[in-house]
Amino acid sequence: MKKNIVAVYPGTFDPITAGHVDVIRRAAKIFDEVIIAVNGNSLKNKKPILPLQVRVKLIRGIVKNISKNIQVDIFRGLLVDYLKKKKVNVIVRGLRAISDFEYEFQMALMNRKLAPNVETVFLMPSEEYTYLSSSLVKEIVGLGGKMKDLLDRNVEKTLKKFLKIKK
Ligand code: COA
C-alpha cells in the first residue's frame, strides 16, 4: 500500500513572499500533502506587522491556485508537538543561502532531539529569491518601493494597508 507522506512547512510568513511560494510549489510536487503551519506563538524577537488571521488568509488566497494538496493551518507551542498532534514527521524548510544554514541546522537538530522520528527536509528556492526576506519586503514597501514579482499583488496591497501607506 502506498504511504501518504505529509509534510509541514512552518514559518511566520509576515508576509508570505514569492520565495516562500516557490518552496511551497516544490514541496507540493514531492509530498502527498503539505500543511503550511503559521506560527501563532507570540514572538519575543519578531513582532509581526500582519495579524495572524490576515497572514493565514493571504496564504490561502495564494495556495488555492497552486494545488489541491496544500492546507493552511495555525500552530501554537512547540512545532514538534503540532507534528505529533497531526501525526506528521516531516518538516520542510527553505534554504536560501549559506547564511540560513546555521540557524536551520540548529533548529533541525533541536527538533530531532525533541522528536527523534521527525526529519527536516530542505528545499532550495529558485536563485532569484535567495536575497528575499519578509523584513526586506516590509522595509521596501514601507518606504514606497515596488516589489514587482517578488510579492503577490494582494499581499502587497494588504501590507501597504497595515503599514498605512496610501496608493
Ligand atoms: N523565501 C523568502 N524568504 C524566506 C524563505 C524563502 N524561501 N525562507 C525563509 N525566508 C525568510 C523569511 O521571510 C523570514 O524573514 P525575516 O526574518 O526577515 O522575517 C526568515 O527567512 C525566517 O522566517 P521563516 O521561514 O518564516 O521562519 P521563522 O524563523 O520565522 O520561523 C519557526 C521559524 C516558526 C519554524 C520556529 O520558530 C518554530 O518552530 N517555532 C515554534 C516553537 C518551537 O518549536 N521552537 C523550537 C524550535 S527548535
Q: What is the CATH number of the domain that holds 85?
A: 3.40.50.620
Mean pLDDT of 100-120: 97
pLDDT per residue as tens digits for the range 74-104: 999 999 999 999 999 999 999 998 889 999 9
**Residues forming beta bridges with residue 120, ordered by sequence position:** 91
Question: 32 is in which domain, residue-wise?
Answer: 6-130
Is the minimum distance from the CB of 94 to ligand 1 under 6 angstroms? yes
52 within a domain of the structure (yes/no) = yes
- Residue 13 CA to ligand 1 centre (angstroms): 8
- Residue 2 CA to ligand 1 centre (angstroms): 31
Q: What is the pLDDT of residue 167?
A: 57
| Count of the separate structural domains present in the chain | 1
165 within a domain of the structure (yes/no) = no
Query: DSSP code of 32?
Result: S
CA distance 152 to 164: 18
Is position 84 annotated as part of the catalytic site? no
Mean pLDDT of 134-139: 96
Q: What is the pLDDT of residue 166?
A: 60
